[in-house]
Amino acid sequence: MQQKKKQRQKKIKNKKKQNGFKCYADFQDWMVETRNKLLAGMTGAEKKVRECLMVNKVEYKQQYPIHARQVYFADFYLPEHNVVIEVDGGYHNEPEQKRKDIVRQRNIEKEGFMVMRIKNEECLFIEEIFKKIQGFIHKP
């Protein structure tokens, strides 16, 4: 466990150098600022997923930074299950965005996370969202 933590810290330091941050504090500031912007711009579908997780008392982290080749912010992360939930809006149907999503998902999965994708139109009813999440978590 300690070795994994050291590996992650090393990756973070490398990311910082790649992205041109002068010091770790600059990198941390950028992460906090980016996360806050993402939280402030939540979509209706993301709000429904958050409500679903809260109502069903599922532990989650929102806009969780994942260091996988670059820093990705997962819409939701369920630490108990090591699952990332991505809520995909309409622009995720664009060919270029689909390509980016595939690369992003592969990089996140290489870090040991399972990735679940939910389309905006699937986020109408909390009960349906929860069934979908449960089905994903408990799939054989």
36-70 residue pLDDT tens: 777 777 888 889 988 989 999 999 998 888 886 67
117 against 8, higher pLDDT? 117
In the chain, which ranges are continuous DSSP H helix? 2-18, 24-40, 44-55, 95-110, 126-137
Under 8 Å between Cβ of 101 and 134: no
Q: Is residue 7 part of a domain?
A: no
Q: Which tokens sit at 103?
A: 């690369």
Residue 16 pLDDT greater than 50, yes or no = no
Q: Is residue 28 part of a domain?
A: no
pTM above 0.75, yes or no: no
Structural domain boundaries, residue 118: 43-137
Smallest CA-to-CA distance from 31 within 112, 7, 39 is with: 39
Q: Is residue 6 part of a domain?
A: no
Q: In this structure, what CATH number is given to the domain that contains residue 61?
A: 3.40.960.10
Domain count, the chain: 1
75-131 residue pLDDT tens: 899 999 999 999 987 766 678 878 888 888 998 999 999 999 998 888 878 888 888
Q: Is residue 95 part of a domain?
A: yes
DSSP bridge pairs for 68: 70
